[in-house]
Amino acid sequence: ETTLDFKDVRFYAPTFTRMGTDEGLLRVLRRLPVLRDLSMQHLRLQINKGNGGCYTMHTDSGVSGEEDGRQVLRVTALFYLNEGWTSEHGGELRVYPYPSAPVKIAPLLGRLVLFHPRLVHEVLPNFRKRYCFTLWCAVEQSSTSSHFMEDLESMTCFNQACSVCEKATHLEKTPRSKLLQVPRPLRCLLLPEVRPLLVRYVFRDCELQSACRSHDEGPQKQEMLEGIGRYHQQMRDENPQWFRQLLEQLPGAEVGTARAARLGSYELKEVMRSCCPWWEDAA
């Protein structure tokens, strides 16, 4: 794995060097109103040996920069270069578009995958050399407007996470007044910033398996796994049982517009009615 920050890479990989300054993808993405402020990109090259290695569940938080401002990721673009790939080779990208079920994406030659950096994702074990490159597309943003995202990463109480998001949107003068009508902790379901936390709870077994596969045996691995286990236990202790049960049932729920990957007020109401009709009393 390497980047164009190293002079040797620019010399031995001239094609990728040109790609690093080519804003073709940025120009296309800027056509979308929510991405019109994209102003920079960062390229990373990757070759996996194929000895069963993998990448654990994570998000591309992408907050970096100077004291007076930060680069905040808005799009992750993955391009695969694996000719003749078959399922036996492994190395699929698995994304967690909660409340939908997880999706596996094969790393086929010529396939471009675009997703929001806050989408939880992982790379499954691969057993053949695997080639790809990543373009992270970012905007420049003030440090105060993006700082709260870092605080969310370690939170275990969903109500607290909601409060942090609401405070941040108030400071940014982009309040979500309609969401205030939704009682907590149900509001978490409609806040994209909180979704990675929900994924970590619902798919906690997957997170442990992913972390176990991606690290060699030893005391550091054991300490890490124990830390993840304590984090999951805190989530169980600090959030009501009825809501935790609802979270785990959502990926398998059948609702009218689930195919469109949207969870609106009608869908939420129907899921409540079918999965836990007693939620109003519990709230």
CATH number of the structural domain spanning residue 7: 2.60.120.620
Residue 199 has pLDDT above 90, yes or no: yes
Position 278 scores a pLDDT of 47
Residues 8 and 89 in one domain: yes
Which of 94, 120, 141 represents a domain boundary (last residue)?
A: 141
Residues 182 and 125 in one domain: no
Which of 80, 115, 141 represents a domain boundary (last residue)?
A: 141
Residues 126 and 160 in one domain: no
Average pLDDT, integer, range 244-270 = 67
CA distance 282 to 264: 21
Average pLDDT, integer, range 110-122 = 95
CA distance 91 to 60: 18
Q: Which residues contact 192 (CB under 8 A, 6 or more apart)?
A: 116, 118
Residue 280 has pLDDT above 50, yes or no: no
Q: What is the DSSP letter of 90?
A: B
271-to-48, 71, 266 alpha-carbon distances in Å: 41, 38, 9
Query: Residue 110, exposed/middle/buried by CB under 10 A (0-12, 13-18, 19+)?
Result: exposed
Average pLDDT, integer, range 156-171 = 83
Q: What is the DSSP letter of 183?
A: P
Residues 274 and 152 in one domain: yes
Q: Which residue has the higher pLDDT, 57 or 280?
A: 57
Average pLDDT, integer, range 111-118 = 95
Residues 132 and 189 in one domain: no
Residues 150 and 278 in one domain: yes
Residues 93 and 169 in one domain: no
Residues 134 and 149 in one domain: no
Q: Which of 21, 116, 125 is nearest to 77 (CA)?
A: 116
Of the candidate ranges 58-62, 102-106, 168-172, the one whose mean pLDDT is the lowest = 168-172
Instruction: Judge whether 85 and 65 are in contact, CB under 8 Å.
Output: no
Range of 263's domain?
A: 144-282
Residues 195 and 66 in one domain: no
Number of domains in the chain: 2
Give the three-state DSSP class for 17. Answer: helix
Residue 282 has pLDDT above 90, yes or no: no
Residue 187 has pLDDT above 50, yes or no: yes
Residues 75 and 169 in one domain: no
C-alpha 255, offset from chain centre: 24
Q: Which residue type is seen at 138?
A: A
Residue 219 token pair: 């005391």
- As a whole-number percent, the residues of the chain with pLDDT over 90 amount to 52
226-to-1, 202, 211, 267 alpha-carbon distances in Å: 28, 18, 11, 37
Position 258 scores a pLDDT of 45
Q: Which of 212, 50, 211, 210 is nearest to 126 (CA)?
A: 50
Position 116 scores a pLDDT of 93
Q: Is 62 left (phi over 0), alpha (psi -120 to 50) or beta?
A: left
- As a whole-number percent, the residues of the chain with pLDDT over 70 amount to 78
Which of 95, 114, 141 represents a domain boundary (last residue)?
A: 141
